[in-house]
Chain A
Amino acid sequence: MSKHYDVIVIGGGPAGYVGAIRAAQLGLSTAVVDNFIYKDGEPSLGGTCLNVGCIPSKALLDSSEQYHKVKHTLSAHGIKAKDVELDVKEMIKRKDKVVKDLTGGIAQLFKANKIDWLKGHGKLLDNKQVQVTGQKGEQETYQAENVILAPGSRPIDIEAAPLDGDRIVNSDGALDFDDVPKRLGIIGAGVIGLEMGSVWSRLGSKVVLLEAQDQFLPTVDQRVAKSAQAEFKKQGLDIRFGARVTNAKTAKNVTVHYEDKDGKQSLQVDKLIVCVGRRPNTGDLFSEDANLLLDERGFVNVNEQCETNLPGVYAIGDVVRGPMLAHKGSEEGVMVAELIAGGNGHVNYDTIPWVIYTHPEIAWVGRTEQSLKSAGIPFKSGTFNFGATGRARAMEETAGMVKIIAHAETDRILGVHIVGPQASELIAEAVVAMEFHASSEDLARIIHAHPTLSEAVHEAALSVSKRAIHKAN
């Protein structure tokens, strides 16, 4: 085996594996070090996203939505289903198969691109050497021309609610319940908490989310957040704000003690999910003499092009600044591979879309109204409700809205915010528009197929200049 590579990537998640494939496409000899072991004991590429993140959570969100539909919403279409049964084990099994197929697919792509998969823990040593420690402790050291650090992130634990692997779990454990908990507590009403809460609530759990902040989704445009919050309330998601968990005790059930503005409170649940955030995996990532610089928050310090303080050493994805999103890491991987090959890679951090896969979905790109206000940037905005589109009515999916914000003088689109059916898909159009510096008038003058949900985006763009057709302006 070659002990020398043009590029060694540490971490086979969305940032690392994509960067590796791009590097190999550009003719660089490439290896990926990865130590993730799936729950069946097998090494598995794909990182958090494919194994215990995006993909399994979406698999369960889709399954649980099908169940919820057949149980609760199909009757509106005149479809009556009797004796609907839920087999949670089968649902989890399907999720595992989706994960296995996709992670196996990456291994195939590595073969096709002649990328070496070095199984074990990767550690950066001095002078761009990478030490790989296998599962049995065997060690091998490789020399790289360039190193890409993509070790990812892990859930943050809190002292007040230590995980016990059964009743108190993090997001990993929440993907593998073998039964529907009657009462489910979730610490943290962010993206992960809301998605996990949605899955189990649709399957019948009584869900309570304890959120330490006073505001719902503070980084989301507040009009869209309020609209989503009202929907979630209707669905029975009980979100409690300003709730600081002080202690969680496991006996037959879990008793969660917390404090809010009214004083001390307690809550009885069968399972508790801790999802208060994620932190970068920098533990044992580099030896001391490598002299890699971290920033004040513990992320690997990088510039706009993901270069660390060490020449030829890059860091990408969740281990560096910026949103912890799979597509952000992947784009950084592509950029770095292209830079190494002598090209001109770049990532536009202003047009990274965000998605929360609840029902209705929430998706956005660019600036929020509250951030523009505090920055003193003059803007105008337009909104349109899905309920006023024929397609949403036909689908019986009328909740939600599109909001488009444009600069008051130049009309350039500054942000697009969607809560509603297929918001995750609809946001792509907004990203393209912003990437091309489009004005709201551009979007308003582009033909949108009828009847489609995308017409809500079109009408919201028209509404910016008060000329929406299907509402009073």
Chain B
Amino acid sequence: EDAELSPAVRRLVDEHQLDPRAIEATGPGGRITKEDVLRHMESGSSDS
């Protein structure tokens, strides 16, 4: 599952112990972009 994340998203998810399934994905093919992670963290929906 981790392999589907882009390098920057993988780094953010690991560093902040996020659940990728909880992040709303807007990238092509349902991919999570770095923007999506940043928006997710800003909205305070922490799941760690």
Contact = CB atoms under 8 A, between A and B. Distances in A.
Given A436-B28, A437-B27, A412 B6 contact: no
Interface in B1-48: 6-9, 11, 26-28, 31, 33-35, 38
Nearest to B9: A442
B35 A439 contact: yes
A445 interface: yes
Given A441-B11, A445-B11, A436 B34 contact: no
B6 A436 contact: yes
Interface in A401-440: 407, 409-412, 435-439
B9 to A, nearest CB: 8
B8 A411 contact: yes
B35 A442 contact: no
A375 interface: no
A445 B7 contact: yes
Nearest to A438: B6
Contacts of B34: 410-412, 438-439, 441-442
Nearest to A447: B7
B30 to A, nearest CB: 12
B33 A412 contact: yes
Nearest to B35: A410
A436 B29 CA distance: 9
B8 A436 contact: no
A446 interface: yes
B1 to A, nearest CB: 18
Nearest to B8: A441
Contacts of A438: 6, 8, 33-34
Given A412-B35, A441-B34, A435 B28 contact: yes
A444 B9 CA distance: 12
A414 to B, nearest CB: 12
Contact of B8 (A407, A409, A435, A439): A439
A437 B11 contact: no
Nearest to B33: A437
Contact of B35 (A437, A445, A446): A437
Nearest to A435: B28
A6 to B, nearest CB: 31
Contacts of B28: 435-437
Interface of B: 6-9, 11, 26-28, 31, 33-35, 38
Given A407-B35, A436-B31, 19 more contacts: A411-B8, A411-B34, A412-B33, A412-B35, A435-B28, A436-B6, A437-B26, A437-B27, A437-B31, A437-B33, A438-B34, A439-B6, A439-B8, A439-B33, A441-B34, A442-B6, A444-B7, A445-B7, A445-B11
10 contacts: A411-B34, A436-B28, A437-B31, A437-B35, A438-B33, A441-B11, A442-B8, A442-B9, A444-B7, A446-B7
